[in-house]
Structure 1
Amino acid sequence: MKHLITFLVASLLVLSTANAQDENNPWAITVGVNAVDIYPTGGDLITQGEIFDEFFNASDHWNILPSVSKLTVGRYIGDGFSFSAAGSVNKIDKAGENPFDGSTVTVDDLSYYALDGTISYSLKNVLKTGWFDPSVGIGGGYTWLDEIGAGTLNGSLGINFWISENLAFSVQSTYKHVFEDYEASNYPPTHFQHSAGLTFAFGGKDTDGDGIYDKDDECPEVPGLEEFNGCPDTDGDGITDSKDECPDTAGLAEFNGCPDTDGDGVPDPKDDCPTVAGLASLNGCPDADGDGIKDSADGCPEEAGPEANNGCPYQDKDGDGVLDKDDNCPDVAGTVANNGCPEVTEEIQKTLNTYAAQVLFDSGKSTIKDQSTKVLNDIISILKEYPTAKFTVEGHTDSQGAAANNQRLSDSRANAVKNFLTNNGIDQFRLSAVGYGEDRPIASNKTRAGRAQNRRVEINLVK
């Protein structure tokens, strides 16, 4: 007993990290010695004393086999409960105390064997302790004394002193109540069995089934690899998925697991041009002419130019002094005042109307006569020289006949001319048509010559 106490005190002094038999270390094996004490049980034998009487009188009452004499295997069930099975052997030579003179009653080395099962509850979590792990238990077993056996009902109190995560010094006292009459047929008497030993906890919970116990698994719910402490590396690039920004594609550590296919120093997820080496400032896209515009968005990738001109240098193709970027008519020389487009002068306006006056119609109809085709084509040529100018085709009549008929006829003739022009290359949105009937004469309707002048078509600039 002296050596046992010395070992216990030394163990307490070196305790550092501690754990217990729990879901992370569900299995435990305890190897140690046991002592059987028949005396302090309150039993019916005259050699037995009151319950707990001289409970620690090891020298007079304890039967101890000087070797490893007890083996216990336990399994954690959950919520603080464990089940254990134990086997023990001993030799009984102390059977209690003579009630008359207080001397120890000896017997002739009776053999002792016991098999016991116990359900115990750890109080470690209740007491909020780490290394100090007391428990209470209840169970039953079968004990043989010189080959005569009897069932027992057991109650136990034990303490594990956890020295490390997997190693504890354990002590336990178990009260074993025997229901048989010892004096009748030499059944084992009710007794206490004390034990002390070393407990080794092992095994563990492996939620994700990857062979790494949860207590050591940094990713306990996802199967992983031992070299990554249980975490997965799906793409096999040596970077765990939890730290890999591209877990499904092998990459480089410097880019947090993402690849850089074109080797331009911009990882693929941030590279707008991942297969062509480019510049970081352009999100990995190239800029061949160095104008700061990526080639894919550069209208002139081999020639530097401003972004405002789509990466192309400013030009003035028509040489009118207005840069193409500001020129509404970049292919036709114009004036600065008219945004690079040619202006319709009064002379041109007169020429248009001179030609328009030569357009002839069938009498009383809006059908254009064939001999007017040439003059209409001349008008088209002039209109094409002023691609942004808009014009109104006006129809006029003399005062002969009903005014309503004259109005309809002027409308029809104006639209006939407009349709001819639009059908031959002039944008319809540049032309409008209107008839004024007899309302805008330019000569007297009282003479034949005057009426001939009033029957006309004009093409006037919309200002």
Structure 2
Amino acid sequence: MKHLNKILVAVMMVVGLSSHAQDSNNPWAISFGANAVDTKASADGGKNWLDRHVTTPFAVKKNWNILPSVSYLTVSRFIGDNFSFGVTGSVNKINKFVTFSPETPGHDSRGYHVTNPGDLMYYGADGIIRYSFMNLINSKIIDPSLSIGGGYTFFGDSSYGTVNPGAGLTFWFTDNIGLELATKYKKSFGDRTEGDVDFATPDAPSHFQHSAGIIFKFGGKDTDGDGIYDKDDACPEVAGLKEFNGCPDTDGDGIQDSADACPDVFGLAALNGCPDTDGDGVADKDDDCPEVAGLAALRGCPDADGDGVADKDDKCPTVAGPKENGGCPWPDTDGDGVLDKDDDCPTVAGPASNRGCPEVTSEALDNLKVQARSVYFHSGKATFKTADVPGRLDAIAEILKNYPNAKFSIQGHTDSDGSDEFNQKLSEDRANVLRDALIERGIKAENLNAVGFGEGTPVETNKTGAGKAKNRRTEVILQK
């Protein structure tokens, strides 16, 4: 057993020196099982080299030496491009040694004679470079290979080197476990280094060594434990699915989370993994009405009257109307044929030619004239004179309210007392006083302007007190 220790030391040294990775998944492999040694190849004789080496290769009972236990161990590491390098230690017991001795009694019909050298111990320490054809044939199970290597054989008390061409076939049951079958021809070179044996055999017998065993690949890293090695895992920190290169699909909708706009909710591929409860083609996350089928243009909400305003925002959902009017048709409150949106006077009927406002009648103008001229002022002042003025102002305002878009000029006048400059200023003040009074009564300021005419346009003579009183007046005139 002293040679077995040598084999184990050699194996450990080579494993320690090997630095190339098999791959990022399973860089290491260990195989072990039984081996058989066939010495027929070393026997002389036969018709030729081919006859000696190839004929009767499977004469197991006749020529093979098999130790009925685990008798070999191989440790290997992949070095890339389908190549791996490994070392093998093997042990056997030689009780069938084949020689070519046609003169010796007991030989077979071809002249070969099998002898028992007395349970001769056999040890081998070999290095091997293996080339796998598994990827070339695109197989996940069948793994044929060729190999070349060399080693050292301990044959009884003798030892010698060999060159070892070989072939193998592995059947992978899983990604990591397989059945390994291999054979190699160990061509010896050199003389035996020590001792002789007492049977007719070459100094350094060449031989076939066959093996069958279990192989394990290991060393791969799978951080997230999803069965996909980090090298091939696009999401190595999160457990995922093989079909997504190790990335997760949390909601199980067939779309990996990184491409799923709704990773926690089962959805449709057409909507980037988001659901569409109402089936309107708008994802629920973008659908303002997810329970009711609607239009994409209205963020998934329906529009029953087709006016472009979603029903939820439509004040008149069953009657078409413009968005500017809340989805309702424009009203015509005063019934004058001009829609309120175009009607400057929506509550007062008027012709379209005047934008829905009534035309100022001559009767209204005459009434304004009467009422305005009845508003009197104190002499030399812009204050109303008589107690009935508020009633006159109310009457004027009511007339003007009937013509919301009409523009009127408030004119102020004076009598002849005082200077021209004083009277001009006084007339302007009187016009503004009336204008302010009408604005207070609801007339729009932009419809009224005030202007003073001083003493220049009297309606009565300034030679009498009664005439002067009438000249201290205002007028409300329609502006064309």
- For residue 316 of structure 2, what is the aligned residue in structure 1? 300
- For residue 319 of structure 1, what is the aligned residue in structure 2? 335
Contact 1:216 1:229 in 2 (8 A): no
Q: Which of 379, 393, 397 is the equivalent residue of 1:376?
A: 393
After TM superposition, the score normalised by the length of structure 1 is: 0.63
Contact 1:205 1:213 in 2 (8 A): no
After TM superposition, the score normalised by the length of structure 2 is: 0.61
- For residue 404 of structure 2, what is the aligned residue in structure 1? 387
Matched, 1:460 2:477: yes
Q: Which of 80, 87, 90 is the equivalent residue of 1:88?
A: 90
Matched, 1:423 2:457: no
Matched, 1:356 2:372: yes
Distance in 2 separating the partners of 1:321 and 1:451: 49
SS at match of 1:65: strand
Distance in 2 separating the partners of 1:435 and 1:79: 105
Distance in 1 separating the partners of 2:381 and 2:427: 10
**Quick one: structure 1 residues 427 and 75, their matched pair in 2 at CA, closer, same or farther if it must change by over 3 Å?**
farther
Please say which of residues 307-316 and 342-351 is displaced more in the overlay: 307-316
Please say which of residues 229-238 and 163-172 is displaced more in the overlay: 163-172
- For residue 290 of structure 2, what is the aligned residue in structure 1? 274
Contact 2:375 2:474 in 1 (8 A): yes
Q: Deviations over 1:71-109 (max 9, x none)?
A: 324344778775645331123587999xxxxx99x9654
Contact 1:406 1:438 in 2 (8 A): yes
AA at the equivalent of 1:375: R
- For residue 74 of structure 1, what is the aligned residue in structure 2? 76
AA at the equivalent of 2:361: T
Q: Which of 276, 285, 299 is the equivalent residue of 2:301?
A: 285
**Quick one: structure 1 residues 455 and 70, their matched pair in 2 at CA, closer, same or farther if it must change by over 3 Å?**
same
**Quick one: structure 1 residues 145 and 334, their matched pair in 2 at CA, closer, same or farther if it must change by over 3 Å?**
same
Contact 1:204 1:215 in 2 (8 A): no
Distance in 1 separating the partners of 2:252 and 2:194: 74
SS at match of 2:194: helix
Distance in 1 separating the partners of 2:426 and 2:120: 144
- For residue 120 of structure 2, what is the aligned residue in structure 1? 110
AA at the equivalent of 1:183: E
Q: Which of 243, 250, 261 is the equivalent residue of 2:266?
A: 250
- For residue 194 of structure 2, what is the aligned residue in structure 1? 183
SS at match of 1:460: strand
- For residue 342 of structure 1, what is the aligned residue in structure 2? 358
> How many angstroms does 1:278 deviate by?
4.0
AA at the equivalent of 2:91: V
Distance in 2 separating the partners of 1:121 and 1:407: 122
Q: Which of 216, 225, 239 is the equivalent residue of 1:223?
A: 239
Distance in 1 separating the partners of 2:162 and 2:422: 128
- For residue 49 of structure 1, what is the aligned residue in structure 2? none
SS at match of 1:329: coil
Percent of residue pairs bearing the same amino acid type:
42
Contact 2:93 2:119 in 1 (8 A): yes
Distance in 1 separating the partners of 2:437 and 2:196: 137
Q: What pairs with 1:14-29 in structure 2 (closer than 5 Å)? A: 22-24=23-25, 26-29=27-30
Contact 1:398 1:441 in 2 (8 A): no
**Quick one: structure 1 residues 170 and 184, their matched pair in 2 at CA, closer, same or farther if it must change by over 3 Å?**
closer
**Quick one: structure 1 residues 213 and 446, their matched pair in 2 at CA, closer, same or farther if it must change by over 3 Å?**
same
Contact 2:183 2:208 in 1 (8 A): no
Q: Which of 251, 263, 276 is the equivalent residue of 1:235?
A: 251
> How many angstroms does 1:273 deviate by?
1.0
Distance in 2 separating the partners of 1:403 and 1:190: 151
**Quick one: structure 1 residues 320 and 153, their matched pair in 2 at CA, closer, same or farther if it must change by over 3 Å?**
farther
SS at match of 2:315: coil
User: Which ranges of structure 1 fall in alignment gaps of 5 or more residues?
Assistant: 1-19, 41-53, 98-102
> How many angstroms does 1:242 deviate by?
6.7
Distance in 2 separating the partners of 1:451 and 1:174: 149
AA at the equivalent of 1:419: D
RMSD: 5.7
Matched, 1:65 2:85: no
AA at the equivalent of 1:86: T
Contact 1:300 1:312 in 2 (8 A): yes
Contact 1:33 1:196 in 2 (8 A): yes
User: Which ranges of structure 2 fall in alignment gaps of 5 or more residues?
Assistant: 1-20, 43-48, 58-62, 101-111, 198-203
Contact 2:426 2:454 in 1 (8 A): no
> How many angstroms does 1:247 deviate by?
2.3
> How many angstroms does 1:114 deviate by?
4.8
Q: Deviations over 1:3-56 (max 9, x none)?
A: xxxxxxxxxxxxxxxxx964455454445636599x99xxxxxxxxxxxxx999
- For residue 4 of structure 1, what is the aligned residue in structure 2? none
Q: Which of 203, 224, 248 is the equivalent residue of 1:209?
A: 224
Distance in 2 separating the partners of 1:391 and 1:248: 70
Q: Deviations over 1:406-459 (max 9, x none)?
A: 44434433333333333333333433x343443862558864566655543333
**Quick one: structure 1 residues 375 and 117, their matched pair in 2 at CA, closer, same or farther if it must change by over 3 Å?**
farther
Distance in 1 separating the partners of 2:384 and 2:183: 125
Distance in 1 separating the partners of 2:255 and 2:23: 32
Q: Deviations over 1:95-142 (max 9, x none)?
A: 999xxxxx99x9654323456777x686989x988677667779x9x9
Distance in 1 separating the partners of 2:422 and 2:185: 130
**Quick one: structure 1 residues 192 and 387, their matched pair in 2 at CA, closer, same or farther if it must change by over 3 Å?**
farther
SS at match of 1:183: coil
AA at the equivalent of 2:447: R
> How many angstroms does 1:324 deviate by?
3.9
Contact 1:443 1:451 in 2 (8 A): no
Distance in 2 separating the partners of 1:36 and 1:89: 14
SS at match of 1:387: coil
Distance in 1 separating the partners of 2:461 and 2:168: 132
**Quick one: structure 1 residues 416 and 171, their matched pair in 2 at CA, closer, same or farther if it must change by over 3 Å?**
farther
AA at the equivalent of 1:74: S
> How many angstroms does 1:340 deviate by?
1.9
**Quick one: structure 1 residues 318 and 95, their matched pair in 2 at CA, closer, same or farther if it must change by over 3 Å?**
same
Distance in 1 separating the partners of 2:119 and 2:347: 126
Distance in 2 separating the partners of 1:159 and 1:434: 118
